[in-house]
Structure formats: C-alpha cells, structure tokens
Structure 1
Amino acid sequence: MSDPFPHRIVCLTEEPTEVLYALGEEHRIVGISGFTVRPARARKEKPKVSVFTSAKLGEILALEPDLVIGFSDIQADIARELIHAGIEVWISNHRSVEGILAYIRRLGAMVGAHEKAERYAQRAEAHLAEVRAAAAAWPKRPKVYFEEWDEPIITGIRWVAELIGVAGGDDLFPELARESLAKYRILADGSEVVRRAPDIILGSWCGKRFRPERVAQRPGWDAIPAVRNGDLHEIKSPIILQPGPAALFDGLDAIHGVIADWVRKQE
C-alpha cells in the first residue's frame, strides 16, 4: 500500500519544519519559509519560498505540494490564493503552550507519525514539568516584562507569558497576553511599565537586535528596578517568537536562566 499521507509539504513558517525534522519526517518537506533557522540544515536542504506575510505563489505551485502549512490569520491571504489554485492548506492558529503541544501531536498524525509525535510532545511536557518544579523551589518570583517590539511598544503573546510563569516569573501584562493579535498588545503609554515596576525586562524584537540601552533611556524608566539593576536581557526571536518546539525547550531555558540569575542575586 502506498503512503496515504502528504509527501510534498510546503511550510510557510518555521514551526512545522522544526517539528517534521524532529520527527524524522523531513523528507516530506519540499519548501520552507525564508525565516527558518531551526534546524540549521533545513536552510541548506530546502528551497525558501515564503516569508511571514508573503509567498512566492508561482514557486510554491511549481513544487506541486499536496499540503501547505501556515500559521495564523496573518497568512490568510496567502492561504486564500493557494486554495483558489486548488492546493490543500492547513493554517493553525494556536497561541498557548497547550496549543503548541496539541500542534505537535496533530501535525504528527497528519503525516502518519502519531507515535513519534506523542513521544516528542511528552518530552516537551516533561521538560516543562522539570523547569516548573525547579522554579517552585525559589523563595521569590520576579515580575517580568517581555517586549516583542519597540516602536510601538508591543508586549508578549500568550505562550511567552505562560513560559515566563513556568520559568519562575510573573508576566507583567497578563491581561494583554490574552490578546492574540499584536495590535491589541500595543502599549499606548510606556509609563504603565514604570508603574508596574518589573524586576526583569526581556526583549525579543522580531527581526532586529534588542537594544537594552535604548530601553533604559526611555523617559522615567530609570525608576524601574530592572533598569536600576541592569536586568535587561535579550531572548533571541527564533527560540521564543515561534509557536513551536523551540519555545518549549530553548526559549524556556533562556528565560529560566535569566530568572535563576536574578534569584541568586537576591540571596
């Protein structure tokens, strides 16, 4: 019996590529996002046919995919064009840690790798539990402000806020983290960060380097404990701003490491 599962997959974002490689199913991928950095070998092995908000439709069609995988309403226009061209498209829209775990399991099932996906998801769950248990032993939890963009100021999305909690901190804007769209997480007044007085500032400016000195120079921000104590840190975008495995492993570990250093300084 021939393989009934998709065997010519185009990944419009990084997380399906990372998952399929982790499951040993990378032979099914025929095209990837130009923003893909994980795993590194994917960039060398697969043609790059899209960025987050646009795609090379002609090149995608030339690859004759039997499935195109994307993420979120932001890629709705790309999905619409592909569907009009007769291509099967799956757009996931998960925004939470549980959503990422479900995504791994769902994608694995779609390519006939249910058991491998289940083992991989369980590895991620075990890692989350391990980090959460380590953080639970600490005597104090810092208030953590996560900044996704600087002009305008955009606060962290839900899975980031949840991972901050797992790592041992309390997200500074939990009410905004529930908003799925970045435009609803814009801070009109940066003085609200000053008022809430975070102990740690984490920056991950998607697509450009975080500049802590610029953050520290914002009017009134010198009163923030994190600024006074020099606790401003970059979390690299590829390991935290993709709703995939990178966030559950390397992203979580990076945040946990920063918080652990802060805890040690309180002793």
Structure 2
Amino acid sequence: MKPQTKSYTDQIGHTITLSATPKRIVSLVPSQTELLFDLGLEERIVGITKFCVHPYHFRVTKEKVGGTKKIHIEKIRMLQPDIIICNKEENTEEIVASLRAIAPVWTSNIITIQDTLDMIEAFGRMFSVRTQAQQWIDKINFGLQEFQEFIKDKKTLKAAYFIWKNPYMAAGSDTFINEIMKLNNFANIYEGRGRYPEIIIQKIRIQGNPDVVLLSSEPYPFREEDAFEVGRFTHHAKTVFVDGEMFSWYGSRLAKAFPYFRQLRERLTDADEA
C-alpha cells in the first residue's frame, strides 16, 4: 500500500509534502531546537547549530552543522534529514533555498505569541506529538494569563532594548522582542524606526528619553562598562541587564519567561521605591 502523503504550509506560505512522520530532523534555530527537545523529539534530532545551547548536553550528542547564517551544507546532506527547520529572521533566503534541494524545509516567522502557539501546534501535527504540543500550548496560555493579570496595573515605562554595540542597535517594530516589551508594559522608544535600527547613543534622550534601558545578554553580551557608557547619556534612566533568551526565544522558553518578567518588573518597582 502506497504511503499517504500529507501537506503542511509553513509560516512564510511555503507548502511541504511529507510521505511519513519525520524521523531525522535538522534544526537551524536555537529556540526551536529547545522546543523540539521539550516535545520529546530528542532521538529524532540529528543536526543543530553551534548556537543551539539548550539542552546543554546537545553540544556533545548532536552533530553541529554550522551557525544560523553560515551552514555546512554537505554536513547537512550527509545527515540525510527528513525535514529541516528554519526561521525567516535567523536563516537567510539563500540558505533556505539551498536546503530545499536536500529535504523539505519548514520555516517559521515569529512576531507574536500567537505565532509561537501556531508553530507549536504545527510541530505537533508534523511530528505526531499533538498531545505534548497541546500541553505546552496550555502551559504558555496559563502563564500568559497569570502574567497579564499581574502586569495590568503596572506603570507603562518608556524603554529601549539594545541588542548590539559598535554600532549600537536596538529592537524596533515588527519583532518578537517588541511584542514582549509591550507585554511587559514597556513602551519601545524605537518602535516605528525599522526592525533593528542603528542608534547614536549620544542622542538617546532626544530620541525618546527612556525610563529604562534594557541591555541584552545576546547576541551582544553587554557588560558593566557598557552600562556605564549608556548611563552617561540617559541620566535618569535605569540601566538593566536582561536575559536575551527570555525576550527573544520563542517556543517552550515562553513558559519559563513569564516568571522571569514578573521578577524583572518587581525589581524595577523596588528600585523606584528605594
């Protein structure tokens, strides 16, 4: 009997056809690698990027196939994947196009929390782990509702979220980080200036005069000397180091992010009252 094929449309509108549930997965997106693991798919993951740091033991148990922007395509080919998982922002169009000659490529495009939930649901269908996927969706929705109740009476703070230095770059519009900032009642002073605008730090006060500046741990690992430099030009603003994974990793990481956000806002409130 000929196996029944199934079609799935990814989040950039590309349709893939699978003749069976994928048994060999290559993931080129760190947060989605973590999600695949949390869905119970560890044994099926055969290739990851060097930036796929969760779970920690994958660094020695899984084949590294490069980064997110530079891949070893022959390594991927030799792994004989049934499917390759990509992301519109993390991986270039050229990479995605080249990988389609090897295996079906499912590409996510995550801007909102709903996009994340849609991706988890899609993984549940594609990898035949619907129950596990629904459990994570329920967990995220529960955490989201609890946090929304907590945050609703918290003061809205003008904020800037920096992701890079030399040049300084901030998270802007149409990004997952911006959506998470809104969730936290942070009004992004760089919303409307593109996705990741370059910033002249000396002009930060006239560009929005933030109440708080968030310095991310990734992709650029900001340090104390960076906070001091930023503080020279913000004056009254609080400069806070934040865990970049909590703000930018979509997938199962969201379930861990809500308690983190609560602690962050409580810390800012305590600082106000000190």
- How far does residue 259 in structure 1 lie from its aligned partner after superposition? 2.2
Q: Which moved more, 1:31-40 or 1:248-257?
A: 248-257
Larger helix proportion, structure 1 or 2?
Answer: 1
* TM-superposition CA deviations, 1:229-257 (whole Å, max 9, x none): xx3222233333333332x2344443432
Q: 1:211 aligns with which of 223, 229, 232?
A: 223
Contact 2:164 2:220 in 1 (8 A): no
Gaps of 5+ in 1: none
Could you state the TM-score of these two structures normalised by the residue count of structure 1?
Answer: 0.84
Partner Cα distance (2:217, 2:198) in 1 = 13
Report how many residues are paired.
Answer: 253
- How far does residue 166 in structure 1 lie from its aligned partner after superposition? 2.0
What is the match of residue 243 of structure 1? 250
Assess, with a 3 A threshold, how the Cα gap between structure 1 residues 250 and 143 changes in structure 2: closer, same or farther. Answer: farther
1:266 alignment partner, SS class: helix
Contact 2:161 2:213 in 1 (8 A): yes
Contact 2:204 2:234 in 1 (8 A): no
Superposition pairs of residues 1-267 of structure 1, within 5 angstroms: 4-72=20-88, 74-84=91-101, 86-138=102-154, 140-156=155-171, 158-176=175-193, 179-180=194-195, 182=196, 185-187=197-199, 189-195=200-206, 196-204=208-216, 206-218=218-230, 221-223=233-235, 225-226=236-237, 231-246=238-253, 248-267=254-273
Contact 2:163 2:220 in 1 (8 A): no
Partner Cα distance (2:137, 2:189) in 1 = 28
Partner Cα distance (2:241, 2:109) in 1 = 26
What is the match of residue 6 of structure 2? none
Partner Cα distance (1:149, 1:252) in 2 = 24
- How far does residue 205 in structure 1 lie from its aligned partner after superposition? 5.4
Partner Cα distance (1:234, 1:10) in 2 = 32
2:84 alignment partner, SS class: strand
Partner Cα distance (2:162, 2:247) in 1 = 12
> How many percent identity over aligned positions?
23
Root mean square deviation of aligned Cα? 2.5
Contact 1:164 1:252 in 2 (8 A): no
- How far does residue 141 in structure 1 lie from its aligned partner after superposition? 2.5
* TM-superposition CA deviations, 1:160-211 (whole Å, max 9, x none): 22222223433222324xx45x3xx223x33552132222111125344212
